[in-house]
């Protein structure tokens, strides 16, 4: 076990400062110095006293109510996880500029549904607050850690599940923009992964990818309506549909119902997120669940590990998703 002298030397303070901080609750000391001393105590195994001050950069994309529900659930998971780990409640920060300005108040931060931040802003934040974990996104892989659902694997799992039920012509419905922190590129990770895996599996994709507009119920309705218009009259209707997020799938199911497309007999539908609304669509929506509690737990654990060990190598952790089957798509294992 480390000595008081070793702690003081590592923290750059006197032995008396360390002793008084640990034993005199009325001792007045700069907050930044207090956190540094406690972090060194934890790092050297002197005492288990480190309680990091953590900020949550709460900057989800604005828009659809169902997106807001996803982020509200994630905030709740973070709060519950902090309590279970006996951490102080994280402070909510609304902008990257505010977090940069208040960096001296915190040891590290976690992002929730980060919007697309300019690289200069990310580098400015890293210069004053180098320890951060981004949930659902990976905007600066060389600067900050991340914890994300493995959406590429989810697309492969969904295609495999469709193929296992005899579906041979599988379409994709998605969008562009900031959903769960993905960058505002013409294609997001789900569309890119769908195309790549479909090619590997020798599935046709020409004319079967509908990915444009925002992640809203209305856009899901529009895209599904376009899909049916393009294919029903020519006898080229797909028999499976993978949707990038539940918010789009809700609109897609509404359109399919209005156009009298039988789900799942004519067209099986599976989505991602497994939000509560999935239980109440018609038919109920099969969806891949993202474990938000595990996202939160891994985010705190990764951040605290980086703080304790002053880790320089960035970690990017992917968590698997799990299909919650409902009426819109029944996996082969449940068909027998």
Q: How many CA atoms lie within 13 A of 43 on its CB side?
A: 20
Per-residue pLDDT for 109 more than 80? yes
Distances in whole angstroms, Cα of residue 48 to Cα of each of 84, 188, 309? 16, 42, 14
* Rounded mean pLDDT, 54-74: 78
Q: Is the pLDDT higher at 248 or at 34?
A: 248
**Rounded (10°) CA dihedral 26, 31, 34, 36:** 180
pLDDT tens column, 287-297? 999 999 999 99
The pair of three-digit structure tokens given for residue 291, joined into one six-digit string:
């474990």
Residue 336 binned pLDDT confidence (cut-offs 50, 70, 90) = low
Cβ–Cβ contacts within 10 Å for residue 33, how many? 14
Model confidence at 47, in pLDDT bands (50, 70, 90)?
low
User: What's the CA gap between 336 and 332, in Å, rounded?
Assistant: 7
- 52 Cβ neighbours under 8 A, 6+ residues apart: 35, 39, 87, 88, 106, 107, 108, 303, 304, 307
- Residue 93 has a pLDDT of 94
**46-60, 107-121, 127-141, 175-189: lowest mean pLDDT where?**
175-189
Look at the alpha carbons of 58, 112, 175, 69 in this order and tell me if their dihedral is positive or negative. Answer: negative
Rounded to whole angstroms, the Cα distance separating 97 from 122 reads 10
Between residues 43 and 126, the one the model is more confident about = 126
| Residue-level pLDDT at 182 | 40
Coil/strand/helix, residue 172: strand
Computed over every residue of the chain, the mean pLDDT equals 89
Contact 277, 64 (CB under 8 A): no
pLDDT digits (tens, 9 = 90+) for 183-215: 445 558 899 999 999 999 999 999 999 999 888
This prediction has a pTM of 0.83
Using CA atoms, how far residue 284 sits from 167, 247, 249, 278, 308, in Å, is 19, 13, 11, 6, 46
């Amino acid at each position: 076990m480390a000595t008081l002298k070793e702690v003081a030397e590592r923290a750059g303070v006197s032995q008396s400062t360390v002793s008084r901080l640990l034993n005199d609750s009325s001792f007045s000391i700069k907050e930044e110095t207090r956190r540094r001393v406690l972090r060194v105590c934890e790092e050297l195994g002197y005492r288990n006293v480190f309680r990091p001050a953590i900020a949550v950069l709460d900057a989800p994309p604005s828009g659809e109510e169902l997106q807001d529900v996803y982020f509200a659930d994630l905030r709740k998971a973070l709060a519950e996880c902090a309590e279970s780990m006996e951490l102080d409640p994280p402070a909510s920060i609304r902008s990257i500029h505010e977090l940069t300005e208040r960096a001296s108040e915190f040891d590290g931060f976690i992002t929730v549904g980060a919007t697309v931040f300019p690289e200069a802003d990310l580098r400015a934040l890293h210069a004053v607050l180098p320890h951060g974990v981004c949930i659902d996104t990976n905007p600066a892989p060389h600067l900050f850690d991340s914890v994300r659902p493995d959406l590429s694997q989810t697309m492969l799992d969904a295609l495999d599940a469709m193929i296992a039920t005899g579906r041979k012509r599988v379409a994709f419905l998605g969008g562009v923009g900031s959903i769960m922190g993905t960058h505002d590129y013409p294609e997001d990770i789900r569309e890119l992964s769908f195309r790549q895996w479909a090619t590997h599996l020798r599935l046709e994709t020409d004319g079967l990818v509908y990915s444009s507009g925002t992640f809203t119920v209305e856009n899901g309705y529009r895209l599904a309506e376009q899909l049916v218009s393009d294919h029903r009259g020519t006898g080229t209707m797909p028999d499976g549909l993978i949707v990038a997020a539940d918010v789009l799938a809700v609109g897609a199911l509404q359109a399919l119902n209005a156009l009298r497309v039988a789900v799942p007999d004519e067209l099986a539908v599976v989505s991602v997120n497994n939000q509560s609304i999935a239980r109440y669509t018609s038919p109920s929506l099969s969806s891949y669940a993202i474990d938000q509690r595990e996202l939160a737990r891994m985010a705190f654990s990764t951040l605290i590990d980086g703080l304790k060990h002053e880790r320089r190598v960035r970690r990017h952790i992917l968590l698997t998703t799990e299909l919650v089957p409902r009426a819109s798509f029944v996996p082969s294992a449940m068909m027998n």
